[in-house]
A and B are shown apart, each in its own frame.
Chain A
């Protein structure tokens, strides 16, 4: 039973480029969450999605960041025109929903903006 999968594990982008981070939830899980972790800091909620729906995006920066979870395929976190301050570890988590609150995390994508 595969856990939450994320790719790529490491991503290097120059300032101004786009970053696309992918997350495949655990089998049977329909809820996906994205968190950002800066070095030596805690995890900050960004967005919560279900298939084809954004449920809560209160943690997403207003500009340059977007997320989707299409009917088919992985969830994608997209960062346009990256800046150095976007360098961080981005973790995806999934849960089965339906009253089950446990969230299980993927290995993360470490984004470095040069």
Chain B
């Protein structure tokens, strides 16, 4: 089955700096890669996603890149703000079953 690894497990950045979270996946047939943000005690929220036929996607301060050959994808957050503090999960899927990474706890230092 699919296996998703996510790094780092914790990340602290100064407000205004950029944050990068990386994931690798094992199943070359995976074709959909979403990112979720989860605040303490809340539901995971879909923040951005990318399909395997696209190399990069951007939405305001958030961008995701995908390297199918190397089987890795990354989340980039620019101009970080305190409200970006949360746990971020990557996931990979084919046939609709999502396999999640173990999460990155992002802390923005004011």
Contacts and interface: CB of A to CB of B under 8 A. Distances in A.
Given A91-B43, A105-B36, 11 more contacts: A31-B96, A35-B100, A42-B89, A42-B101, A48-B97, A101-B32, A101-B49, A103-B46, A105-B43, A105-B45, A106-B43
A75 interface: no
B100 A107 contact: no
B8 interface: no
B42 interface: yes
B55 interface: no
Contacts of B89: 42-43
B98 interface: yes
Nearest to B44: A105
A45 B32 contact: no
Name the prevailing secondary structure of the A interface residues.
strand
Q: What range describes how many residues of A lie at the interface?
A: 20 to 34
A48 B42 CA distance: 22
Interface string A82-112: 0000000001000101000111111110000
Nearest to B32: A101
A45 to B, nearest CB: 6
A35 B46 CA distance: 15
Nearest to A31: B96
B9 to A, nearest CB: 10
A48 B96 contact: yes
A77 to B, nearest CB: 16
B74 interface: no
B39 to A, nearest CB: 12
Given A42-B102, A95-B96, A102 B44 contact: no
Nearest to B89: A42
B99 A103 contact: no
A81 to B, nearest CB: 27
A6 to B, nearest CB: 9
A88 to B, nearest CB: 14
Contacts of B46: 102-105
B34 A45 contact: no
